[in-house]
Every structure is written in C-alpha cells, then in structure tokens.
Amino acid sequence: MQNKFNQYINKLPEKKVKRFFKNAIIVFDANILINLYTYKNSKEFLNLISKDEISSRLWLPYHIGEEFLKNHRNPKENKIKEFENDINKLKSHLSNAVSNAKTEYDSLIINENADFGEVKDFIKKIEELKNDNFFKEKKYLKENSKNIYNDSILNTLLKIYENKIGKSLDSNKLEHIKRLSELKFHSKRPPGFTDYAKKINKGNSLGDMIIWEEMKNKAKETKTPFMFVCDETKEDWWFYLNKTDKVADLALINEFKDETNQDFYMTDYKEFLIDSNKYLEGKIKEDAITEAINKFHYTHDSEIMSFNSQIDFNFDELIQNIKNISMYDLSNKMIIKEYITKIERLIIRSARFSSFTADIHLVQLSLIWKKFKDNVYDKYDMIDSIKNFKEDFLIDFYENIK
C-alpha cells in the first residue's frame, strides 16, 4: 500500500528528483516568471536557466507565454504606485510637521527682543530640503514609468525562449477542454476545479486546464518526462504534507502517466533553486535562496489572513441567510446548504495551515445541518449552533496552527 500511495506520505526520493532535473522538459508557470520582477536576486535565476544544461530543455506552453506577457508589467507598476503613495504620505507628514513648527514658532514670539532666528532658519531649511527631495523623487518616478516598457528581465526571457514556445490551441481543442473542465469541476479532479466555479462567468476558468493539456500533448510528442515549476498554492495542483512540504496531487501524476506514458513532477521556485544547487551545480547564492524562502513564508502568512477573512465572511453570510428564511420552505433551506458546503470546503482547506483533524469538524457541521433540515432545530437554535461551531473550530485551528 505504501508503494502505491507513497506520494501522499513522503516527498519524492532524491534519486528520482535528480532524474527530473537531469532529463525532464522544464516548464515554468507564469507566476514564476512574473514574480521575477519582485526579487532582488532574479538575475541568479536567469543566469541559471540560460545555461545549456537547462536552457536546452526549457519549453513554454502558449497559454503561459500569453499570460506572462499580459501581466508581467503589473509588479513593477504596483511597486511604482506603492512608492508614489509612500512619497505622498511622507510629503504630507513633513508638510504637517513644518506647519506645526511654524505655528509653535509664532506662539513663541511673545517678547519682541527674543531671538528665535535659528529656529526660523531650521524650519526654512527643512522646507527647502523637502521640496528639493520631492522634485527628485517625481523625476525618478517619471523615468521609471518609462523603463517599465524596456526591461532586462523581459529581454532575457525572450532570448531564452526563442523557438521554445508551444502553439495556441484551436477552437475545437478549446471546446474539448471546456467539457473536460466541467467534468473535473463536478468530480473535484485536478487541475482547475477551484477556478471553475468562481471564474466561469468571466470566461477565464480554463487556464490551468489549457496548460495541463498543452503539457500532456508535448510529453506525447517528445516522449519525455515533465517538470512543472509553479508557485500556485491551490489544492487543485498540490497535496500538502505539512506547512512547508507539498507534492503534486497523485491524480495529476497518474493521469499524466496514463495518457502520455511519461512521469510528471512538480516543484516551486524556492525548491527549484535549492535542488539546482544539488543536482545541476547551479551555484545559486544563499541570498537568492533566502529571499525565495522569505517570500514563501510571507505568502503563507498572507494566505492565512485571507483564509480568516473568508471564514468570517461565509459564517456571517450563513447566519444572515438563516435569519431571513422561512423555516418550512425547503428551497430556502437548500440555500443554507450551499453556504454550509462552502464552509465545509474551507474546513478541508484549513488542514493546509493547521495540523488538527478536519474530519471531526465536518461531522459536527453535518449533524448541525441534519437537525436543521429535519426541523429538530429552529432557525434560532441553528444560529446558536453555528456560532458555537465557529468558535470551537477557530480555537482548534489556532491551537494547532503550523
């Protein structure tokens, strides 16, 4: 049994990981390439993948290339906007400080013979310095806004990926992928099922599935194993062994093997850098690895904050809907069931961040719903039960947070 399901128990043995690093076609997801604009040490990565040992095995699915080119300016534009906002805030604080200092200075001049010339000169120098510095900052912002459209990262990537980009899929293949996505969404099979429900109305729910099908097609054509480097964190790609260790979902590995007769491996940016030093003599500097690890932990902490917000929102929505329903209207009760299902999914997801057993909470929530559905609970009993459930769940969650 352990051999068959080892992927859900342990990370891949080093010998097998080494084979992927030595032989596999390597695909970097769009988030890896876009995030290069957020790293100080991105040149380390670009130098690494420019080497023949890796460069000769790089391949870019068309959809990833398209997604990267649509969004690659966002990090730099956001940085400039954040910098501009910080500058404006600082300018406002300095202006207030100068104004307050002037007011204090005016209130000090009670005696006409008193000499506060030094204070006045000091205020004047601060004001001159402030105006001069902010003139320079505005010039910097203007120059960097122009540089967004001429960056070294983009130029380097264009050279690296010359003649290594897949073809776009035709309409028939896209329609086939759409049908597959619907089936996978309803059966919760990876990849893409977490995107399908929330993006279907916007018409962009197929991205993960398109990339997945492109990789499988390329593996069939080249008869080569694949390594997918991805900083996506959703459960429809990864299975989480603990806070720091994750592996590709076994369903993905099996599907890839069944359809292409090739092996499939997933890793993220920080692990790719670390393992490159192990298996490819990548010579990535410690600063670059530390930066990637810090970003991973920052992303993890941000996800917990986002998770907390989703928990609060969904419980609040559930309680509000319970208050508004007619007790004996079954159709309204099924609306409540939809919210409970959303919370069940969040509880399952919470196991990524906390080592508690999600199954216990799922059973408790199921019993609460059954009592409400069978009219054992009226809506006020239901609200009290849901509030108590949320409190117990969050206590358990935070006591066992990883």
pLDDT tens-digit series, residues 72-98:
877 666 666 666 666 667 667 667 766
Is the model's pTM score more than 0.85?
A: no
Residue-wise pLDDT for 33-56, tens only, equals 999 988 888 899 999 999 998 999
Question: How many angstroms separate the CA atoms of 97 and 108, rounded?
Answer: 16
Question: How many angstroms separate the CA atoms of 392 and 79, rounded?
Answer: 40
Domain chopping of the chain, boundaries? 6-73+157-284, 75-148, 294-399
Residue-wise pLDDT for 270-279, tens only, equals 999 999 998 9
Burial 312-332 (b: 16+ CB within 10 A, else e): eebbeebbebbeeeeeeeeee
Residue-wise pLDDT for 297-346, tens only, equals 767 667 677 777 778 888 888 888 888 776 556 566 777 888 888 888 77
Residue 38: other Cβ atoms inside 10 A: 13
SS3 332: helix
